[in-house]
Amino acid sequence: MPRKSKTCPRREESLTRDHIIEVSIELLDSSGEGGLTFRALAERLATGPGALYWHIDNKSDLMTAACDSIVTRAMAESVEGETPKAAIRALALGMFDAIDAHPWVGSALTRALGQQPIVRIVERIGQQVRLLGVPNDHQWAAVSALLHYILGVSGQNAANTQFARTHALNRTDFLEAMANVWSQLDPEEYPFSRSVAGQLRTHDDREDYLAGIDLILAGIDANPSSNE
């Protein structure tokens, strides 16, 4: 009985923008932004690079789309809570965890200013800020402070994590060494840094991050123009 010849299905027929984005996220997570090329993506999808351009304009478009996918998931998974403050904390924590899990998102967001992923975050924060009773002419300042804190601290945390992985650093050992250096600083020139040296050994980045969110929210409450 003659053997049937095996034929490879044409992947182009089932190729979709969503599938391209999902595979791009896998490449970004495993190889970083430098590992995401149209050639590598085409090989992973078993198609030709030219087929990708039917769905994606360029790498910048692809990075923004991948970033937007992660932001959308983070928002969907964030439990908003019963109050505007609880909703803001949930969003902030969701973004922190998302960027920690996908470190490339931090830098991608800084280049996506004004684009969909940023707009999603701004809109979610803005709606809650309004519910806090912040007057219209003070809302943008409050939203901007929260947005820049979330992106800045989350991005820096992800960068620190990547640096540690690249250089095979153990967090506990690294913080212990830093604490030892700080504890030996000149007490007259660096009184504060020396006094908190011991806290470096046991501090929790996630808890510190949320404490910062709470400080901003407390500042919004303390603003005489709020809740008028």
Domain locations in the chain as residue ranges: 80-222
Residue 153 pLDDT: 95
List the one residue out of 102, 84, 110, 95 whose CA is nearest residue 217. Answer: 84
Q: How confident is the model at residue 9 (pLDDT cuts 50, 70, 90)?
A: very low
Q: For 79, which DSSP code? A: -
* Mean pLDDT for the stretch of residues 111-118: 89
Instruction: Give CA–CA dist 19/23, Å, rounded.
Output: 6
Inter-residue contact 99 to 209 (CB < 8 Å)? no
Q: Distance of alpha carbon 46 from its chain centroid, rounded?
A: 30
Q: What is the pTM of this model?
A: 0.85
**Topology classification of domain 80-222:** Tetracycline Repressor; domain 2 (1.10.357)
Report the distance separating Cα 180 and Cα 174, nearest Å. 10
Nearest to 95 by CA among 109, 114, 85: 109
Q: What is the pLDDT of residue 3?
A: 42
Distance CA 65, CA 112 (A): 10
When pLDDT is cut at 50, 70 and 90, the band that residue 13 belongs to is: very low
pLDDT-based confidence at residue 165 (cuts at 50, 70, 90)? confident
> Sign of torsion, CA 75 78 80 85?
negative
Share of the chain above pLDDT 70, in %: 91
Q: Give the pLDDT mean for 48-53.
A: 85
